[in-house]
Structures are given as C-alpha cells and as structure tokens.
Structure 1
Amino acid sequence: MGLIKKLAGQSAIYGISSILGKSINFLLVPLYTGYLPKEELGSFTMLYAMIAFLNVIFTFGMETSYFRFSTGKGLDPKVVFQNAQSLVAVVGLSLGIILFLFAENLSLLFDYQGKSHLFQWAAMILTIDALMALPFARLRLDGRSLTFALLKLLNIFLNVGFNVLFIVVAYHIVEGDILQILYPFVSQWYNPDWGVDYILLANLLANLLILPFLWKLAGQWEFQLKRTILLPMWKYALPLLFMGLAGVTNDVFSRGLFEYALPDGFYPELTSREAGGVFGATFRLAILMSLIIQAFKYAAEPFFFQQSENKNSPLLFARVMHWFIIFCTFLMVVVAVNLKLIGALFFQADGYTAALPMVPILLMGYLLLGVYYNLSIWFKITDQTRYSFYITLVGAFITVVIILTLVPIWGFIGGALSTLGSYLVMVLLCYFIGQKYYPIPYQTKKDIGYLIIAFLLSYGGFLLDTGSLAINFILHTSIILLYGGLIFLMEKKELYSLLKSLSKK
C-alpha cells in the first residue's frame, strides 16, 4: 500500500499541475472560437497533428529507453543520460534543419501557399521539444515531480500569455479599443490576416524561453556518443518509435485526416476545413480525461521500471490498474453528464454544439488509452518492445479505416469512434499477449463491469435533458451519486484500507 501511496502522491503532483496548466490553456478554446474563423481552427488542427506526428520521430522512443537502461541494467544513469541526450540532440537538430529548408515545398504540398514560415516555425518547435524531452524525463526518473510540474506550468503560462497578447490585446490595440498610445508600435508588426500563425509563434517563444531553465535544473549535460551504450538503447527504442507513430495516428493524426475524409457539404453550414476546426476544438472537451492519463503516465512509467525487480510487482501492477479504472470511470461520468454546460461555457460561436455527442465516446477512448498504458508495462520490462509496434500498428490501421469509412456516414461521431475502436482493440491485444509472456492477476471481470456501467451512465446522462436546468442538475447529480455509491459498495473494504494507509504520515 505504501508503494501505491507513493505513486498516488506523484500522480497527484503531475495531475494538479497538468489540470491547472491545461485549465489555463483550456481558456484558449473560447479565445480561439471567439476571435478566429473556423477555417483557421482547421489549419491549427492539421498543423498540430503534423507536429505531434513528427515529434515522435524527433525523440524516437529514447525517453522510455532512458528509463529502462537507467534502472535494472547495471549502468550509471548519468552516463545513460549524457549519451541519450547527445543522440537526441544530433537527430533533432538534423531533422529540424531539413524540415526548415524544405518549408516552402511543404507549404505548397499542404495547400498553405505563402505560409512557408508556419513550417519553419514548426521545425523550430520540434527541435526545441526534442532538446527538452530527455531533461524532463530525467526529472521524472529522479522523482523531482514538483520541479517538473513547475516548469511545465511556466511553459503553459508563457504560451497562453503570448496567445492573449497576439490574438486579443494586439487586435484591440490596432482596432483602437485600448491602449491607443501603443498603436504606432503594434501596428508595425501586427498582421490581421494571421490566426494559426500567432498560435505557432506563441508556442515557439514559450519553448525558447523555458529551455535554458530546464537544462539548468535537470543537471549538467556533456556530449557523449558511446556505441556500447547507444546501440542496445537504439534496438530497444526502435519498436517504440513505430509504436509512437502509430499511437499519434490513433490520437492526433486522425484530427488532421478528418477534414479530408468528410464529404463536401456534409454539414451545410460548414466547409470541410471548418468542420475539421469544430472537430479539433470539440476534441478538447475530453481534455480532463487526457490530463489524468498524461499525469498517470508521467508518474507510472519510471515507477513501474523501478518496481520491476520486486517479486510482488505483478500484484502491485494489478492493484494500480484496478484503482486507476475506478478513478477514471468516476471522472468520466462527472464530465459526461455536465458536457452541455461545459460546452456552453467554452464555445463562443455557433456551430460547435453539433459535435458534442462525440465527447462521451472520446472520454471512453482516452480511458482505454490509460488502460493500455497500464497493460503495456509487460513488454517494456521484458524487453519485448517489438510487440508495441505490432499492437499500435493494428490500432493505427483501425483508426484510418474507421475515419475513412464512418466519417463520410456519421461525421463527428465517426471520427470519435476511430479513437474508441482503435484503443479498444489495442487494449485487447495487449492484454491477451501480455498474459502469455508476463501474467498479471488483473481483476478483469470487475474492471470490465466498471467500464461498461460507467460508459452507459455517461452517455445516458449526457442525453438526458428535461428542458429544466434545475431538474437536469438534480438528475445528473443523482447519476454521479449512483455510480459513486456503487463504487463504495463494491470496494468498501479496500477503500477503508486505502484511506487508512494514505492518512498515515
């Protein structure tokens, strides 16, 4: 129980910082929907899908490889870090330069004529992200979750600040609404035709400012490239690279593909690119679940590696999975039954509510992604990372197939089903193959029961609308209490034991 307490504590720090940071970042949704045309949001969705996809190539699985070779391999973690960071820096800078030089060609290929600077900035963002990946991983491995969290928050504050400055403040200064004394200065650089341009520029500036702080706090880096260390790390990481590419296809790339799969005129009031913007913006309403998953991953990955030599680790992993599912299903129910209220608060223009019915599906999809992260520990600690490639390749294939077949029929719902279907198949494959190579005594039937009941309550609660705010509130709250009561009845003994443990100093 003490180990679960440790994991819960670190997850809480990562989670609080992620939720606080992303809540601040989430305020960009009404800003974007209020100030930018839907077509610009479509461009934003596509470009960030590309960045997410290439980001995997720039880091090529070396974060997980660093965790593995710094624990249980008899190597000096400092030496492993120096070599891994050096290799990532060489690859990241090389790829960044190539992408920067071919920015004009890419702008023509993706139909962004006259916008080659977007791809130049994307190249710089990707390079800086790669240079920060291993230092952030080092903070996680060293258990410095608070330092990690504070740096992430600072980065988000800077990003949001630059977004507000460029998109809101500068706009109103040029329009003569505020601070007219600054008009001569701002009018020299402000471009009213820029939308996604300022989003990328804000991201770039925030990353540039955070990089020196991260390098200083993460510790000294000496350039080293030792073949004896890097070759086995590379062999371990290579399947993870392909896993990451397939995973991004499942999670993010589908958002970029959506606008191309949607037939013209499917939504009469929206062009395909505008619908892609609505799809990407509504995707963000599933952010609370993705935040919890990300926070858990930050804490759990190094934790699992550190506990892998413990003879009781299978029991520990099963227990972690069980409580992870309980917590996340409860969160899913809370968010889903209040989606209409959340949507009304954050969408500041017409045309977004049509996509709301896809959000409960996305919440369930992200929850299954978290289940997959739990399950995937078996191939990481047994050094059989090739299975990660096979599993996620199947998931990526399913994502693309569902996008191409169901989006033309069901639109937004079809896009959401690609996420759910992909992660469901990945979970099933990872579970059955993992139980063969590294058996873990999961509470499978009980956990599946929680997942099914929570999803039914979530979607039912979302659809439940009496037309009265007061009655809706009572009914939605009753659904949340009903599920909470079910958890209490099913886990009464465990809850008492867990609360007693967590209360100990």
Structure 2
Amino acid sequence: MTFILGKMSSVKQLYSQSIIYGLSTIVPRLLNYLLVPIHTNVLTDPRQYGVITEFYAYLSFLLIFLTFGLETGYFRFVNKYENDERVYSNSYTFVLTLSSVFFIAAYLFSGSISSLLGSGYLPIYIITTAAIVSLDSITALPFAKLRNQNRPLVFSFIKITGVAINVLLNIIFYLVLKPSYLKNLFPDIDPLFYVFLSNFIQNIVVFVLVTYFTGFPKIRIDKSLMKELIWYSFPILLAGLSGTTNEAFDRLFIKYLLPKSVDSLYQLGIYGACVKLAVLLVLFIQMYRFAAEPFFFKSSGSQDHNKLFAKSFKYFLIFSIVISLLITFNLPILKFFIGKNYRESLYIVPILLLANIFYGLFFNLSFWYKLSDKTIYGLKYTVIGSVITIISNIILIPIIGIYGAALSRLITYVTMTLMSYSDGRTSGFVSFETKNIKFYFIFILFISLSGTLLLVFLKPYYSLIATNILIGLFIYEFIKKENINITLWR
C-alpha cells in the first residue's frame, strides 16, 4: 500500500518509507507486546517486572554511550564525502572497539556491580545485559547503512526476525517449559534470567544477519576523518545521554525516591507496564524517525525543503494526537494486555502519551540544528531537559509517586520543544503548514471532551464506542481536506 500524500512526491516518499520502516518497528513491537501479557501474568509479582524495567533503563543509557552519536554522524558524512565505505568502516571500528572494551569490563566487575545494585541482581544478569547492549551498539552502524542505501525491506526483515526469535524463546521458556520445570533443571538460575537470555540470543542472530547483508567492513581508523566524525558526533552523544536521562531517569528515580513505606520495586513494575502501553505512540515516532533522518538530510539543499518540512510536521502532529486519543479511550480494552496486578495506575497513561507527543515534536525540530551543523544546540536542550527531569522527579515522586514521574516527563519535553522552536524558527529549517489546522484542533477538542464526559457519566465502553466513531469521522475529514489519495499497488 502506498500513501500518496497531497501533490508533493517527496513527502509521499517520506511517508511511504515510513510505512515500510514501520514494519521494522510496529511488527517487532507488536510481537514484543506478546511479552507484556506473558511477563506480567507469569511474573505475578510486579517487583520482578520492576527489575526488568530497571535493567532496560540502564541499557538505554549504555546504548547511547556505546554508539557515540555515530549513527547521525554517519548520515552527515556519508552524504558529505563520496567514499561511503571509508566513513562506514571508521565509524564501525570505533563502535566495535568501544563496545568490546565495555563488555570485558562488565564481565570482570559483574560481581561488584551486582552487589552495588542489591539482592536479587545476580552477576549473570550483568554479564548477559552487557552482551546484549554491546551487540546492539555494534549492529547500529550496519542498520544505519541499510537506511542510507534505501533498503527498508532488508532492514525490516532483520528487525522482525530478531524479535520473533526473542518472543518465541520467551514462549518456550515461560509457557511451554514453564519456570517451575526450569527451576528443577537449573536450581541456581532465577526464572527472570530467561528474559535476558532470550534477548541475548536474538542479538546474536541479528548480528549474523545484518553482517551478511552489509558485509563486514575493514577495521581501520583514519585519524583526520575520525576526528571530524567525533567532533560532529560528540555533542550528539552528550545530547543523547541527556535525552536518555529524560526517558529513563523517571524509572530509576522511582526506585530510590519513593518513601520507605512504599514498595518501590512494586511501583516500578506497575509504572513499567503503563509505559509499555504509552509506547504504542512511540512506535509511530520511531518508524517516522527511521525514514525522516536520511530524507531530510538529503533534501536539505532543495528549494522545496521548507514546504516538505511544513507539511510533514503538520501531518506528524495530527497523526500523533489521533494515535494518543485511540490509546487513551481504548484503555478499557488495552488494559487486558497487562496482568491484573499491574492495572491500578492506568490513569498515568494519558500523561505519558502527551509527553511522547512533545518528544516527537522535539525530534522534528531537531533537524534545524543538525542541518545547520549546530549540534551544540541539541546538547543545550537535552542538558537543560535532564536538569528539569532530575529536579522535577526529586520534587514530585516523593509527593505523588509514579504520577510525579509521568508528569516530570511531560514538563521536560514541553520545555525542550519550546526552546528548540524559539531558537530554530529563524534558521530557515523550521516551518509549519497551517491549512485547516483550526478545524482539526476544534474537532480533536470536541472528541476529547465528549469522550471524557461519557467516561465520567456512563460506562467506559460507551465512551470507547462513541470516541472511536468520532475518531473515524475525523480521519475521514482529514483525508478529504488534505486531498490524500490512498491507492493500492497490486
């Protein structure tokens, strides 16, 4: 299916590739959603899910550090220089070296790290997760190469295959063999370990496949080129670390900032499950990101760049809001994706969704400083954002618990978006199409108010049915007013 968006073939290309790249994001995430009911029903104690949530929060930091911002650096310099392989092999060698050193260090100090985290955090967890993130970082550049070569089908195939293997292994470990049987076979291994083991095996398969399709590059370092790459990418690394603070610190703070009278790991498990529901919007943002980065870098010199960005930005905003409304008012159904012990705080999901909308808007606005080689601004926004995240979490979590963590995320992304827009509006790379926008916002406001009133005064399912009908009408009006033709290529 190809979506022809208006009369602008380049925007059509962007969103068509977004849909293909969406296969690599939506299908794996949907497959991963099979893990949510498995983990939250088999691991009936939210504390266990809290451990998983905490570990993957740490992994998000480590992945940013180990890739060193070189994905974006690769896109920038592979279009700047004609020698694609020279840029690629230097970037790959750097990441491979850094990841290998990290894994060796994690292996040697796994016992000390385990003791530092507390009881229940076995050294084997440390070693396995270190292997997971090391393989993730090593494969980041090959995946970037596939994106730059416009090979979204290969990209999607590898991503989907990897996640399918992970899900299958989880099904085997937790539903076929079952934790009780595994405990008899391996009494010294906690059932929780098989979550990490499945992910590790997935990453081995992905590494083999992506290396097969892209080839193993020459291991070399060109000092002058590497200096340029690091100089460009280092602010992106720092911005990424600060940005991950905004994404992950709420989960880490929950463990350490809740009052002692509250079971922090229990609450962290519940919060992690709610974040999984809100991540449905991040699926769209991620698939858009995969297509948008190479697209806007390549079109930055064209005369139509501002028009392309303006239309794309408007579509992104509308799509994000519609997806958020669908998730929010379908929570009476979506709640069954998580175990019954994890459903007590579902009302934080709309807050998380709103925060994710602003996260997506900030990503769109980030192109102005990336395209003008002013990546230091990205560092400015994310550092300020991380400071806001830390301060707001410290203030809010002890008072209102996990609701404070969700609200902190929203405050952070609203602030970062406003700062980026304020600085970038005169850059020549920021624009927004306002055609029909008042009508769309009034319609969206009507849907939100109607759904909320029905939810308050009637049963949730009445609100669900009415809201979905209204959203369907909105989508119809949007397609009609934007002259979007949907055609099927057979």
User: Structure 1 length normalisation: TM-score?
Assistant: 0.89
Of 295, 313, 328 in structure 2, the residue corresponding to residue 303 of structure 1 is 295
Equivalence for 1:423: 413
Among candidates 216, 223, 227, match of residue 223 of structure 2: 227
1:54 aligns with 2:46: no
How far apart, CA to CA, are the structure 1 residues paired with 2:202 and 2:339?
A: 26
Find 1:31's aligned residue among 22, 34, 38: 38
Provide the C-alpha distance between the structure 1 equivalents of 2:198 and 2:162, rounded to a whole number of angstroms: 11
Question: Which shifted more, 378-387 or 247-256?
Answer: 247-256
Contact 2:183 2:189 in 1 (8 A): no
Work out which of the residue numbers 260, 267, 277 in structure 2 matches 1:264. Answer: 260
2:314 aligns with one of 312, 317, 322: 322
Report how far residue 195 of structure 1 moved. 3.8
In structure 2, relative to structure 1, the CA distance for the partners of 1:303 and 1:207 (3 Å cut) is: same
Distance in 2 of aligned mates of 1:460 and 1:41 = 35
Measure, in 2, the Cα distance between the counterparts of 1:398 and 1:92: 30
Give % identity.
32
Residue type at the aligned position of 1:227? K
Higher mean C-alpha displacement, 101-110 vs 138-147: 101-110
Say whether the 8 Å CA contact 2:146–2:155 is kept in structure 1: yes
Counterparts of 1:354 and 1:452, CA distance in 2 = 32
Count of matched residue positions in the alignment of Structure 1 and Structure 2: 481
Match of 2:380 in 1: 390
Matching residue within 246, 250, 270 for 2:246: 250
**How far is 1:79 from its partner?**
1.2
Query: Is contact 2:53–2:268 with CA below 8 Å preserved after alignment?
Result: yes
**1:499 maps to 2:490:** no
**Paired residue secondary structure (2:147):** helix
Give deviations 1:373-403, integer Å, cap 9, x for gaps.
1111111111111111110111111112222
Between stretches 394-403 and 81-90, larger displacement belongs to 394-403
Contact between 1:336 and 1:462, CA under 8 Å: does it hold in 2? no
- 1:216 is aligned to 212
2:195 is equivalent to residue 199 of structure 1:
yes
Structure 2 CA distance for partners of 1:380 and 1:62, relative to 1, 3 Å: same
- The CA distance in 1 between the partners of 2:187 and 2:439, in whole Å, is 54
- CA 1:388–1:473: 2 relative to 1, 3 Å: closer
Note if 1:86 corresponds to 2:69. no
Indicate whether 1:348 and 2:355 are aligned. no
2: CA distance between counterparts of 1:240 and 1:474?
44
* Residue segments in structure 2 that go unaligned for 5+ positions in a row: 1-7
Which residue number in structure 2 is paired with residue 178 of structure 1? none
Change in CA separation of 1:116 and 1:451 when aligned onto 2, cut-off 3 Å:
farther
How far apart, CA to CA, are the structure 1 residues paired with 2:411 and 2:440?
Answer: 18
Q: Matched residues in 2 for 1:452 and 1:250: separation?
A: 31
> Is 1:337–1:459's contact at 8 Å kept on the other side of the alignment?
no
1:225 match: secondary structure: coil
User: How far 1:468 moved relative to its partner?
Assistant: 3.8
* Pair 1:112–1:138, CA change in 2 (3 A): farther
Instruction: Give 1:284 shift.
Output: 0.3
Q: What's the counterpart of residue 471 of structure 1?
A: 462
Query: Letter of the aligned partner of 1:137 in structure 2?
Result: A
User: Could you tell me whether the CA contact under 8 Å between 2:324 and 2:353 is conserved in 1?
Assistant: yes
Tell me how far apart the structure 2 counterparts of residues 453 and 392 of structure 1 sit (CA, whole Å).
33
Amino acid at match of 2:337: F
Q: Matches of residues 436-455 of structure 1 in structure 2 within 5 Å?
A: 436-443=426-433, 454=444
Relative to structure 1, the CA distance from residue 248 to residue 458 in structure 2 (aligned partners, 3 Å threshold; closer, same or farther) is farther
The answer to whether the 8 Å contact 2:89/2:218 transfers is yes
Which letter maps to 1:363? L
The CA deviation string for residues 19-45 of structure 1, in whole angstroms up to 9 with x for no partner, is 222111101111111111211111111
Pick from 12, 23, 31: which aligns with 1:16?
23
| Distance change in 2, residues 1:286/1:469 (3 Å) | closer
